[in-house]
């Protein structure tokens, strides 16, 4: 008899010939995430199995599994040999003093096992009742459902909890996207959402030292770390934006400042993405949240992108909905630390709400855009 954790994965991605590939990526992700627990992870029919761990770590292992995309649910279980005597003796010794109602559910995948699931359910139910006089059977809505899963190969799982996990797709099955990561609430959530669809992440952050502080940068490193708990390791590109911002401030109309900044950020981000083989850009924009996120502003910013798609997973979400996810992934407390973002430096009082491509291009004529971009790119720093 041993303690194990059963892992179920979603069915969604398991259609067609990619099935094996998805299964293997998920298995690797699980192994990687559980490395520190010194346990064995293997694939059994339609599931994964974690075994050989210190029982004291079971809760931590389950908490870790809940962060892995592609897992539907897990159950801490007892693994015993598939024999009537072993299963019955386990049921005889269960401590069910906390419960009032129960049911037994048997699944017999091993058709050579000599008792049918229906008979087994009744017999095990009777066994439980005999040793727990206070209990009653409730098939529709029991306080505890004792589940017996008799597998081919002579082993049986017994469990009573099905713990929901993150669902989604295994990270690494959808290429790598470059997340534009600010210090705010939205962009870490945007990264989390894309990781949930199987995307591995890289990130880019623009800072304006000395207008923005070293702590502001550290905060972004911390946010990348938080997101990486779900997405796996993140390569963070840090780009100094100071000179660009000073130039825009000096040469361009104040109401177009943010528009031009965004357009240059996009150009730099796309350039870094192309150099590194990242497949798309990801932003935390949500329609109408601020002046730079009206559909006109998004049009003008998007206009400088030549090749890659820009994914905006939060585009239709309210701040409240975004905040719920930010709190769920433990990013919120870090996101609200009061360090300045480069977008708040030289902030104009009235940013344009409906910019046009024509005016933006006109303003950019006052800048040597390519030189500014090249310099920023050549000074980019990388943090793993």
Residue 289 as a binder of ligand ATP (CB under 6 A): the answer is yes
Residues numbered 134 to 153 that lie near Mg ion (CB under 5 A) are: none
How would you class 187 by CB atoms within 10 Å of its CB: exposed for 0-12, middle for 13-18, buried for 19 or more? buried
CB of 96 to ligand ATP, least distance (A): 49
Residue 104 site contact among ligand ATP, Mg ion, none (CB < 5 to 8 Å, cut-off depends on kind) = none
| CA–CA dist 168, 18 (Å, integer) | 16
What does the per-residue mask of binding to ligand ATP show for 325-344, with x meaning CB under 6 A? ----------------xxx-
Both tokens assigned to 134:
């206070």
Backbone angles phi, psi at 187, to 5 degrees: -65, -35
Contact residue for Mg ion among 75, 156, 182, 231 (CB under 5 A): 182
Residue 82 as a binder of Mg ion (CB under 5 A): the answer is no
Both tokens assigned to 21:
């590939």
| CA–CA dist 135, 129 (Å, integer) | 6
Residue 289 site contact among Mg ion, ligand ATP, none (CB < 5 to 8 Å, cut-off depends on kind) = ligand ATP
Nearer to ligand ATP by Cβ, of 4 and 181: the residue is 181
DSSP 119-150: HHHHHHHHHHHHH-TT-EE-SSS-SEEEEEEE
Residue 205 site contact among Mg ion, ligand ATP, none (CB < 5 to 8 Å, cut-off depends on kind) = ligand ATP
Applying CB under 5 A, the span of 111-119, 179-187, 238-246, 369-377 interacting with Mg ion comes to 179-187
Nearer to Mg ion by Cβ, of 174 and 329: the residue is 329
Residue 182 as a binder of ligand ATP (CB under 6 A): the answer is yes
By the 8 A CB rule, do 193 and 231 touch? Answer: no
Alpha carbon separation from 335 to 83, 184, 338 (Å, rounded): 54, 5, 8
Residue 293 as a binder of Mg ion (CB under 5 A): the answer is no
Residue 191 as a binder of Mg ion (CB under 5 A): the answer is no
How would you class 365 by CB atoms within 10 Å of its CB: exposed for 0-12, middle for 13-18, buried for 19 or more? exposed
User: Under the rule (CB under 6 A), what is the footprint of ligand ATP?
Assistant: 180-182, 184-187, 204-206, 283-285, 289-290, 292-293, 341-343
Question: Which residues are at the interface with Mg ion (CB under 5 A)?
Answer: 182, 184, 341
């Amino acid at each position: 008899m041993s303690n194990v954790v059963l892992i179920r994965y979603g069915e969604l991605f398991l259609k067609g010939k990619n099935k094996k590939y998805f299964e293997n990526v998920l298995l690797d992700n699980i192994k990687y995430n559980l490395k520190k627990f010194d346990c064995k992870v293997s694939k059994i029919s339609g599931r994964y199995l974690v075994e050989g761990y210190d029982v004291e770590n079971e809760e931590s292992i389950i908490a870790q599994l809940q962060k892995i995309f592609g897992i539907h649910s897990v159950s801490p279980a007892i693994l015993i040999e598939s024999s009537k005597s072993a299963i019955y003796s386990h049921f005889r010794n269960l401590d069910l003093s906390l419960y009032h109602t129960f049911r037994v559910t048997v699944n017999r995948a091993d058709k050579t096992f000599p008792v049918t699931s229906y008979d087994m359910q009744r017999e095990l139910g009777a066994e439980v009742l005999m040793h727990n006089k206070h209990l009653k059977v409730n098939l529709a809505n029991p306080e505890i459902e004792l589940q017996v899963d008799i597998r081919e190969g002579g082993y049986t799982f017994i469990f009573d909890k099905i713990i929901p996990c993150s669902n989604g797709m295994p990270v690494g099955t959808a290429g790598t996207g470059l997340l534009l990561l600010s210090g705010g609430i939205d962009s870490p959530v945007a990264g989390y959402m894309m990781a949930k669809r199987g995307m591995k992440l890289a990130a880019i952050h623009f800072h304006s030292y000395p207008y923005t502080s070293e702590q502001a940068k550290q905060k972004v490193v911390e946010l990348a770390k938080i997101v990486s708990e779900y997405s796996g390791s993140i390569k963070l590109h840090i780009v100094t934006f100071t000179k660009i911002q000073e130039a825009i401030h000096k040469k361009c109309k104040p109401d177009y400042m943010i528009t031009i900044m965004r357009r240059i950020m996009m150009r730099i981000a796309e350039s870094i993405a192309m150099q590194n083989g990242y497949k798309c850009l990801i932003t935390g924009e949500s329609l109408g949240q601020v002046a730079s996120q009206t559909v006109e502003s998004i049009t003008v910013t998007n206009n400088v992108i030549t090749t890659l798609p820009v994914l905006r997973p939060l585009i239709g979400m309210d701040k409240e909905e975004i905040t719920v996810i930010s709190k769920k992934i433990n990013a919120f407390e870090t996101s609200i630390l009061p360090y300045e973002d480069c977008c708040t430096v030289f902030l104009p009082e009235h940013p344009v709400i409906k910019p046009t491509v024509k005016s933006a291009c006109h303003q950019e004529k006052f800048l040597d855009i390519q030189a500014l971009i090249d310099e920023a790119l050549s000074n980019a720093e990388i943090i793993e």
